Every structure is written in structure tokens, then in C-alpha cells.
Amino acid sequence: MTTLLDGRIALKHGAGGRAMRTLIQDVLLAGLGSGDWIGADQMDDGAAIRVGDAWLVITTDSHVVQPAFFPGGDIGRLAVCGTVNDLAMMGATEPLGLTCAVVLEEGFARESLQRVHESMRLACLESGTTIVTGDTKVMGRGEVDGIVINTTGVALTHTLVRDAGLHAGDRIIVTGTIGDHGLAVMATRHQLGIEGTLRSDVAPLNALVRTAMAAAPGAITAMKDPTRGGLASALHEMADKGRVGVVLEENALPVSDAVRGAAELLGIDSLHVANEGKAVIGVRADAADAVLRAIRAHPLGREAAIVGTCLAERPGLLVLDTGFGRRLIAEPEGEPLPRIC
Ligand code: MG
């Protein structure tokens, strides 16, 4: 693998695709072992440890987005939503609390930190949780870029949902338009002049997921949030772990005009671009309409759609049906845009 041939970490190793997965498997999981829990080796959205008759779900995430403030949100909102969403993707929709560790660069504006804190506070209110402990470090000028935030979250659930649970016949729901976060950040970073029309979708999905799970108990077979690497990366991982093929219907994919335009301008496929307020949900075919209706009734799910179907054939592969024919979508090496979350 190119991962360690040159002995150095590249940006792609943090970009959510094949390069990152290989690095984690080869280096970071070495010797950790596995047991009667859902651990790091499963590479799900979080870990799950048995506590009595429930599962304690725990997840952690570091946020390095550049710029720290972007249309639709900032690094504070992102840090809270990223962690709340990873818990929700495991079926744990009521976060008990979050931790927050902040690393600041000497010279970072106090007023900016206050804005970030206020965003975190509001996102916690929105998702029904709070920050219960934290840590603050300051590094010298040039030793870190502005601000880095790590959040960890814990929640209990009786209904654990994995990203590995897809079965042949399941339908795939996407809870809204794709590519919004990545392209909004990119357009701002490079001052493309199209920022006005692009907004990040960063939002806490726990209430939406709770609604979806309640609409058809037991019918949701798999969930994942399509963050770095976008929908293509998330579906590749789900298809691979579930040993199913996934056929994605291009015409059914919700994409905003602004994202379509920006993606074309930049020559990037929105299928590969990060989302921060969307979920990919696998659901038994007989319950797909009921779950879709419930999601659409939630303000964050109005543009949800059934976008694909799982097959027994071609396990691990993602196929795009364009309406004119079918082609394979390769697993992305990584998110095309670095420092996106
Ligand atoms: Mg995730």
C-alpha cells in the first residue's frame, strides 16, 4: 500500500476514503484486539459496550475545518453535530453528554472563541444534550492552525444499529440533498464568488433518526452519515461490510442546483463530497415508504428520497444507474477536499 511506502502521512490519510481506512487498519488498530463489544476494529460510527440490557455507545471526533466559520455553520456547530450524529447512526439518539477538548493557536481572537462556544451551546440545545467536561490547550503561533476541537459523546440505546447490516432487497434512503457541506466550505475557502447560494447542511440528526426508527421498529437495518468521502464512500463501506451490491439511481438523488453548479465548476462529483447533516439509511423494502414518510415529515428530512436498492449480486460494489445504463463507482481514495470537517 502507498500508506507507508514513503513513510509519511499525506492529507489523503485523513480524507475518509480507502487511504484513511488502510492507514487505520495497518497502524492504528494494530494489537487492539476485539471482544464482546463493538470496537474500533469494526470501524463503525462509534463503539458499543454492553451495560446491563442496554448498549453504551461512545464516539469521538476531532474537527479541523478550514475556514472555521463558513456559510451555515462553524467549527463549534460541526463539533457538536458530528458527534451527536455518529451516536445517532448507531441508534443512540439521546446523547447523555459530550466532552469538548479545544486546542488553540496563540493569537486566536477571543471573540471568535466566544462565537464558537455560542454555536456549540445552541447545537447542544438543539440536540438535547450538553458539554459535561472539557480541556483547553494553547500552542504557539504556527504550531496549530487557529483552532482544533475534539468532541466525544456517550449515549445509551436498546436498539443498536450498525453500518454493516444491509441485506439483499433493502432499500437505501438518503435524508436530503448531498454535497452541501463540502462545497460550501470549499467555495468559501477559495472565495469562488458562489458562496451566497451554498450553505453547509450541518445539523444534529438525532431527532430525525428517532422519528425514522419509531416509524417502523426493527425495519432499519443499517445507518451511516455520509461525511468525508460523501455518499459514495459511505455506501461503499456499507456494501462491503454487508456483503451486498448497491444500485444507486442517479435520477433519484437529491442535489440542490447550487451544489450541482459548484460541483460542475470545480470538476468534483457531489457523490464524493462531505455532508454534515445527512444520513444514509438502509431499510427493509416493506417498511421503506413508512420510514420515508416519517423522515419527510421532519424539518431536516423534507427532501429525503429512496435512492437505491441492495442486491445479493456484486457484493461490496456500488453501481450507479444513470437511467441510460449502469456503471461502477470506484471507492474514493479520499475526500477530494482536505480540512472539510
Ligand atoms: Mg459517521
CA of 279 to the centre of ligand 1 (A): 9
* pLDDT the model gives residue 334: 73
CA of 140 to the centre of ligand 1 (A): 31
CA of 84 to the centre of ligand 1 (A): 10
Q: What is the pLDDT along the chain (341 residues), one digit of tens a residue?
A: 444 456 899 888 888 788 888 899 899 988 887 788 888 888 888 999 999 999 999 999 999 999 999 999 999 999 999 999 999 999 999 999 999 999 999 999 999 999 999 999 999 999 999 999 999 999 999 999 999 999 999 999 999 999 999 999 999 999 999 999 999 999 999 888 776 689 999 999 999 999 999 999 999 999 999 999 999 999 999 999 999 999 999 999 999 999 999 999 889 999 999 999 999 999 999 999 999 999 999 999 999 999 999 999 999 999 999 999 999 998 877 777 788 89
Could you tell me which residues come within 8 angstroms of residue 19 by beta carbon, excluding any fewer than 6 positions away?
2, 3, 10, 12, 13, 333, 334
CA of 193 to the centre of ligand 1 (A): 30
CA of 58 to the centre of ligand 1 (A): 12
Tens digit of each residue's pLDDT (9 = 90 or more) over 8-47? 998 888 887 888 888 998 999 888 877 888 888 888 889 9
CA of 126 to the centre of ligand 1 (A): 19
CA of 237 to the centre of ligand 1 (A): 11
CA of 60 to the centre of ligand 1 (A): 10
Tens digit of each residue's pLDDT (9 = 90 or more) over 149-195? 999 999 999 999 999 999 999 999 999 999 999 999 999 998 887 76
CA of 7 to the centre of ligand 1 (A): 28
CA of 57 to the centre of ligand 1 (A): 13
Domains and CATH numbers, the chain: 171-328 (3.90.650.10)
Residue 62 sits at the vertex; the CA angle it makes with 139 and 124, to the nearest 5 degrees, is 110
* pLDDT the model gives residue 2: 45
Does a cis peptide bond (omega within 30 degrees of 0) precede residue 67? yes
Contact assessment for residue 144 and residue 107, using Cβ atoms and an 8 Å cutoff: no
Query: What are the backbone angles phi and psi of residue 308, rounded to the nearest 5°?
Result: -165, 175
Contact assessment for residue 73 and residue 193, using Cβ atoms and an 8 Å cutoff: no
**CA-based diameter of the chain, in Å?**
57
- How does strand 69-70 pair with strand 147-157? unpaired
* pLDDT the model gives residue 195: 63
278: closest CA among 223, 321, 218? 223
CA of 231 to the centre of ligand 1 (A): 11
Residue 169, number of CB atoms within 10 A of its CB: 14
Sign of the C-alpha dihedral computed for residues 288, 294, 297 and 300 taken in this order: negative
* pLDDT the model gives residue 5: 52
Residue 211 φ/ψ region, left for φ over 0, alpha for ψ in the -120 to 50 degree band, beta for the rest: alpha
CA of 44 to the centre of ligand 1 (A): 7
CA of 203 to the centre of ligand 1 (A): 13
Residue type, 214: A
